[in-house]
Chain A
Amino acid sequence: MNDIPPAFDMFHDTCKIEDGFLFKDMAVCDLGLETSAPAYLDAVASRIGYRAYDIEKGDRAGTLANIISRGLEAASISGIGKPVRIDGWDKRCVRAGPVLVESPRWALVVDRAVFPHSIYCFFLTLGREFDRVKEADGLFESYVLDGLGSELTERVADSMEKKLRGQLATSGLACSRRFSPGYCDWPLANGQKSLSKFLDTSSIGLTVLSSGAMVPAKSVSGAMIVADRLRILCPCPVCPKKDCPYRREDVWGEYEYPPRT
């Protein structure tokens, strides 16, 4: 179940879901993401602290768009991911081969699922060239590229999550929202260690430090629960941490997913 074929490419739909995916050095356009700077302008502006009316002043929009274009060109996106069968779980953690999700909150998602069978693990990175370009001389430029890097990483991960969910749905399977070490209650260093034990990050030029940090810096790791049915897509609807900045509102509360017809 966990062998990856040599050149599997999830972004070109040539895969069987259980094989996992591996893609290297792809441009933004190859992943079906927006390629024009204006499509990122508002999001990046807000990430770096501009209010909507700020970017209307002078030529800020033009300046930002130029830097964003350079950043989009520098992104050379790679990713690796595959599922691992769930061996068991209790109130504190979920065990799946070498992957240990020490998160009571996500253990609850598994506990409430109908036939949870695997955890789909992944790493995605914008590549070293993006980091290099981000080390611009100008502080402003570097800051904008940092914001773009965070935005782009999220969009790549969103796109992967959406595709996987679609592919799984065609096999009649449900998939949770993605979650990452260091968020919710999943400890960063152990979570990263466990994911990198399972996936060969060197194949996409990514190094995971013992602290959990990743090089290149604009990278994201995470997992999704795969099950026949999920009663909650993420722990947020039942989580007591009301002021959490990462709370997801657009999830199926206590309803089952996919919904019963």
Chain B
Amino acid sequence: MGDEKLLERIEDSVCRFEKGLEMELLPAALDSAPAKEILQALNMGIEKARRLFKKGEYALPDFLLAIDTYRAGVNFFKNRVADADKAARRVVIGVVEGDVHDMGKNIVAAVLEACGFQVTDLGKNIPGDQFLETIRSARPDILALSTMMSTTLEGMKDIIEQVKRDFPETMILVGGAPFDPDLARRIGADGYAENVITIPDETKRVLTVAREKKLLKDTGP
């Protein structure tokens, strides 16, 4: 099998969430193609799956299966491609204090990762101080806050106010059951993750705004 064909198969394997990608195809590909090209094939596969999901041809769980396959592939390359993540935009994500529902956040984190962002996932029920500490040390481009409960919105608002005051260059995305675009704006967020389909575009929109406001360096996705 030539390089082209092999790369196409890798792309298809991700999109069709075939098992064993990292056991057979990727080691074989490594003998005949540079790691960067193989990674590119993985990216094209997940992008194809995202388009099918967006068009309604894939249900959400199918898209998640594709993400799992993609992640297995990327993990295979973790130590093989030096500094692959260096240029990636950084996102810190977590569920705010008082809430333990993390399924939505986990999916958004994985989707952003699959779209080329470097994601630091803090987990669930995270106190405001921990978010601030992480921003201080990791200097992310985006802070993504999630909650499924309306009772945690006050706490979320406090975090947003502090981040806006102390780290104005960090853009803030919010998501979860209580939100609509209006509430997201009123709470002080720069963007609103309505669902998994819109999150990559919304993240890019927010970054464009940041760039226009000269808060970002003009690199990355």
Contact = CB atoms under 8 A, between A and B. Distances in A.
B128 interface: no
Which of B65, B99, B103 has the most C-beta atoms of chain A within 10 angstroms of its own C-beta? Answer: B103
Interface string B81-115: 00000000000000001111101001100100000
B61 A211 contact: no
B64 interface: yes
B60 A48 contact: yes
A214 B124 CA distance: 13
B149 A211 contact: yes
Interface residues on B, range: 20 to 34
Contact of A211 (B60, B64, B68, B98): B98
B106 A213 contact: no
Which of A51, A140, A212 has the most C-beta atoms of chain B within 10 angstroms of its own C-beta? Answer: A140
Contacts of B152: 211
Contact of A143 (B99, B101, B107, B125): B107
Interface residues of A, number: 23
A140 B68 contact: yes
B150 interface: yes
Contacts of B145: none
B103 A50 contact: no
B61 A144 contact: yes
A139 B106 contact: yes
A213 B59 contact: no
Interface in B52-88: 59-62, 64-65, 67-68, 71
Interface in A186-215: 188-189, 209-215
B151 interface: yes
A49 interface: yes
Contacts of B68: 138-140
Which of A146, A209, A213 has the most C-beta atoms of chain B within 10 angstroms of its own C-beta? Answer: A213
Interface in A158-176: none
A146 B62 CA distance: 16
A209 B101 CA distance: 13
Which of A189, A209, A210 has the most C-beta atoms of chain B within 10 angstroms of its own C-beta? Answer: A209
Given A139-B67, A139-B68, A143-B107, A50 B150 contact: no
A142 B61 CA distance: 10
A110 B206 CA distance: 50
Contacts of A54: 59, 62
A4 interface: no
A41 interface: no
Contact of B149 (A144, A188, A215): A188
A26 interface: no
B128 to A, nearest CB: 13
Nearest to A190: B151
A213 B98 contact: yes
Contacts of A182: 149
Contacts of B62: 54
15 contacts: A49-B59, A50-B61, A51-B59, A139-B67, A139-B71, A139-B106, A140-B64, A140-B67, A143-B61, A188-B151, A209-B125, A211-B97, A211-B99, A211-B149, A215-B100
Given A48-B60, A209-B125, 11 more contacts: A48-B61, A49-B60, A138-B68, A139-B71, A140-B64, A143-B61, A188-B151, A189-B151, A209-B100, A213-B125, A213-B151
